[in-house]
Each structure stands twice: as structure tokens, then as C-alpha cells.
Structure 1
Amino acid sequence: MVVSTKAIVISSLKYAESDLIVTCYTEVSGLKTYLLKRILSSKRGKLRTSHFQPLTQLEIVAFHKDKGTLEQIREAKVIIPYQTLHTNILKGTLVLFISEVLKNAIHEESNDVSLYKYLTDSLNWLDVNDEIANFHILFLLNLSSHLGFFPDHSTVEHSYFNLLEGNFQNKETNKYCKQGTLIEYFKLFFGINFDIMSQIKMHKKERLELLNLLLEYYQLHLHGFKKPKSVLILNQLFR
């Protein structure tokens, strides 16, 4: 079946001498993986290697067999040319981090228009803004809502956050209960958007601890989720 859809590139991997295997999150078909034959050696084809950088937003015409095999892309064009995401070193590292998170977190082929919109809105905001130190924290928190395990913050006034249960409690009930300054910072991220997140002032150490808290939360609630390797680079760049 020939499908025309918007798509976000999640990852690309060289295969054989001149092929690419590209995974995209598409607006109409969810997660899809494509084999792009001879793209690395062709100079006159309809597809360009530059189209398949991580998190590039495309309009594609693809052939979907929907049998769990590698699909084919016939045409692709960039629909949102980024100004800074692939040139700014800080944002480029965030791009690697986000692409790793999405690769680990999204496994369903069914489409989710709300998730697709959240991803595009987040990437477009990141591209044109500079106060981004807290971006990955808020991105992860809000992404968990679309993945089905957003924390219950109806009792956010309580001192403990239970990573396993995903809620706030007034006492410690298991080894996954955390309290202290870190949890007080965590509470500040509920109910805000990217435009005001820079008002939350944290030191590098606190931001790292909060990021690790969220990644541990993901590991508890997403089967097979692995801590992104790019975290190490991310922690070195943000202060």
C-alpha cells in the first residue's frame, strides 16, 4: 500500500556498503522501519542521506506491506528545515539523547496523533529557543503522559515520590520512595510548559540527579528501556 505521511526520523544505521536502515515515527502508521537501498552511493536518486539525520521532520511517500518487514520509501522531502538543531552543539546533543529515548521507548506500529504532535511541537520549540538547560527534564516528564505512565500528582504536597507506584506519598513504603530537595525540584515541573521552565534554577549536579531519577522511572515502567549513552555527553555540556 502506498502511503503519504509526515514522519520524524528516529534513527538511521548503515547497512552493507551503500544502504541505510531508517526508523521513523510516522503520523499515520506509527513506528516504521525502512530499507533505503544504495542511498549512500547514489547522487541522482530522489532520496538524500541528509534527509535522514536524527529527528528530521519529513513528508514521505512510502510503500507499506504492514507485515513486520522492512518497508520502502519512494520519496522524501524536509518539511521543517531546522535552524539550529543540527548545528548547535548543545542542541545536537539533545537531539541524540531524544532520539535514543524514542528508540527505546516507542515500539508500537499503531499511530498516535497526540504523541506525534507533542514530538513535533517540542522539536520546533527547541529549534528556535536558547533557554534549554531544563528541556530534557520536562520533555521526559511530559513524554511519559503519552506513553501511559505519567506520575499521579494529585497528592503532590506529600514529601515522598514513589518511583514504582508513580505517585506522591506522605511516608516511605518501599525502596523506590525518594524525598528531599531533589523531589521538591521535581514537583516544580508539573503543570508548566517549555516557555517558563527556565525559571526553575538548578545546579548541574541537581539537574543530573533529576535526570537520573526520571530515567530510573522510565526503566521501571517501560520494559526493556535502557539508559541512553548520550547522557554522559549531555552531563558534560550542561552547567
Structure 2
Amino acid sequence: MLLTTNAIVLSKLKFKESDLIVKCYTQQKGVVSFLLHGVLKSKKGGAKVAYFQPLSQLQVITDFKPKKSLQYIKDIKVSHMYTTLHSHILKGAVVMFLAEVLSSTLQEEEANEPLYSYIEHTLLWLDTQSEYANFHLLFLLKLSKYLGFYPDVSHIDYAFFDLNEGKFESKYTSKYCITGDNLELLKQLLGTTFDALPEIKINAKQRQSFLNMILLYFELHLGSFKTPKSLQVFNQVFS
């Protein structure tokens, strides 16, 4: 079946001597892995490899075979050309980190238009911004909505939030209850938008603490989730 779909690059892996396996989140088929034969030794291969930078947004034409674990690309082009995400060192760190998170969290092999649209448009938003130090925090929090464990805000005025239960509590109910700065920042982020993010002022220590908390939240609700290998480098960049 000849299929044309938009796709966001999650990861790439060298295979054998000159092949490349590229994992993408596609608009029409969810997570799909593509095998590119000989791309690393071809004279034209360098140009092709350049398409597959983390979180690049592409349009792919493939002869899609549902029972195959690896698909082949017939044609490809860039659907959205970023101006800063792959050239700015700090934004590049955000992209590497989020690509690793998405690669770990996105497992479904079926279309999810709202989720695809969310990732697509938030990346385009980030590409145009000059203030984005807290972007990854709100991105992950809002991502949880599409993954099925967005915090229940019914009692947002309560003094604790139970990460395991995903809801606010009036008393300390488990070791996964948070309070203090992380709780206050959670409440702030739950009530804000990407455009209003610059209004939230926190320091590097608070940012790192909240990120560790949100990653634990993902671990508790996604059995397959692994802490990104790039976390330590990412924290150093934003310290």
C-alpha cells in the first residue's frame, strides 16, 4: 500500500556497515521504523542522513506493509524547515532530550491525530521563541494528557499531589506525595499556556527538581519508560 504521511523523527541507529534504522512517529500509522539501505556509504547518503536529525518533521512516501517491522522509504522531503532547533546549542539540547523521552513513551502503532498535532505544533512554537527555559516542563506535563495520565485537577487547592494516583490530596497519603516548591510549580503549569510560560520565574535548582519529579511521574504511569540517558548533560546545560 503506497502511503504518504507526515513523520517526526524520534531516533536513528546505525545498522550493519552502511544501513540506518530510523524510528519515526507518523501521523497516519503511529510509530514506524524505516530501513535505509546503504545510506551511510552512498555519495548522496549524506544529504539523506541530514533529514533524520532528532524531531525533524518530514513527509514520507512508503510502500507500507503492515506485517513488516521495518518499512522502506520511496521518497522523502522536509515538511517544516526549522530555523533554530538544530542550529542553536541550547535548543539542540532540548530537542535531544525530548526526542529521547518521546522515543521511550510513544509505542503505539496506530494513528493518534491529537497527539501528533500536539507534538508538531509545540515544536514549531519552540522554534520561534527566545525564552524557553521552562518549555520542556510544560511540554512533558501536557504530553501526559495524550498518554492518559494527566493530573486530576478536581481538588487543585489541596496541599499535596500524589504522583502515583495522579491527583491532589488533602493529606499525606503515600511516599509519592509532593508538596512545597514542586507542588506550587505544578499548579502554576497546570494553569498556564506556552505563550504565558515566560511569566513563570524559577531558578535552575527548582527547574531540575521539578523535571526529576515529572520524570518519576512518567515512570510510575508508563511501565516502559526509562530515564533519558541525556538527562545529566541536559541538566548541566540548563544549570
Report the TM-score range of the alignment, normalised by the length of the smaller protein. Answer: over 0.9
- Residue type matched to 1:232 in 2? Q
What SS is found at the alignment partner of 1:114? helix
Distance 1:46 1:62, change over 3 A: farther
- C-alpha distance 37-193 of structure 1, shift in aligned 2 (>3 A): same
Residue identity in the other structure for 1:142: K
- For the Cα contact (< 8 Å) 2:40–2:46, is it kept in 1? no
Aligned residue identity for 1:163? L
1:54 maps to 54
In structure 1, the partner of 2:180 is 180
Q: Deviations over 1:205-234 (max 9, x none)?
A: 100000000000000000120111111112
1:110 deviation in Å? 0.7
1:39–1:47 CA contact under 8 A, matched in 2:
no
Shift, 1:46, TM fit: 11
Task: Output aligned runs, 1:85-234, within 5 Å.
Answer: 85-234=85-234
The Cα shift of 1:47 comes to 6.9
RMSD value, Cα: 1.3
Matched with 1:79 is: 79
Where 1:79 maps in the other structure, the secondary structure is strand
Q: CA deviation at 1:169?
A: 0.6
- Aligned residues of 2:5 and 2:28 also touching (Cα < 8 A): yes
Does the 8 Å CA contact 2:160/2:169 hold for their aligned counterparts?
yes
Secondary structure at 1:149's aligned position in 2? coil
Equivalent in the alignment of 1:42: 42
Distance in 1, matches of 2:101 and 2:234, equals 13
How far 1:128 moved relative to its partner?
0.8
Q: TM-score, normalised by structure 1?
A: 0.97
- Which 10-residue stretch deviates more, 184-193 or 19-28? 184-193
Give the C-alpha shift of residue 191 in structure 1. Answer: 2.9
Count residues in correspondence: 239
CA distance in 2, matches of 1:157, 1:224: 32
Q: Secondary structure at the match of 1:217?
A: helix
Distance across 1 between alignment mates of 2:96 and 2:141: 18
> How many angstroms apart in 2 are the aligned matches of 1:193 and 1:18?
44
Residue identity (%): 46
Q: Secondary structure at the match of 2:58?
A: strand
Gaps of 5+ in 1: none
Contact 1:162 1:168 (8 Å CA) reproduced: yes
User: Are the aligned partners of 1:46 and 1:76 in contact in 2 as well (CA < 8 Å)?
Assistant: no
Deviations 1:120-156 (A, max 9, x none): 1111011110111000100000000011110101111
- Matched with 1:237 is 237
TM-score under structure 2 length normalisation? 0.97
Q: Which residue of 1 aligns with 2:4?
A: 4
**CA offsets 1:162-214 (integer angstroms, 9 cap, x no match):** 00000001101111111112211111001321111111111111000000000
The Cα offsets for residues 30-86 of structure 1, whole Å up to 9 and x where unpaired, read as 110011001112234797110111111001101211115111111110111110101
Taking the aligned partners of 1:68 and 1:155, their CA distance within structure 2 comes to: 47
Of 191-200 and 89-98, the range deviating more from structure 2? 191-200
8 Å contact from structure 1 (residues 46, 75) kept in 2: no
Query: Partners in 2 of 1:159 and 1:89 — Cα distance?
Result: 38
Which ranges of structure 2 fall in alignment gaps of 5 or more residues? none
Letter in 2 for 1:9: V
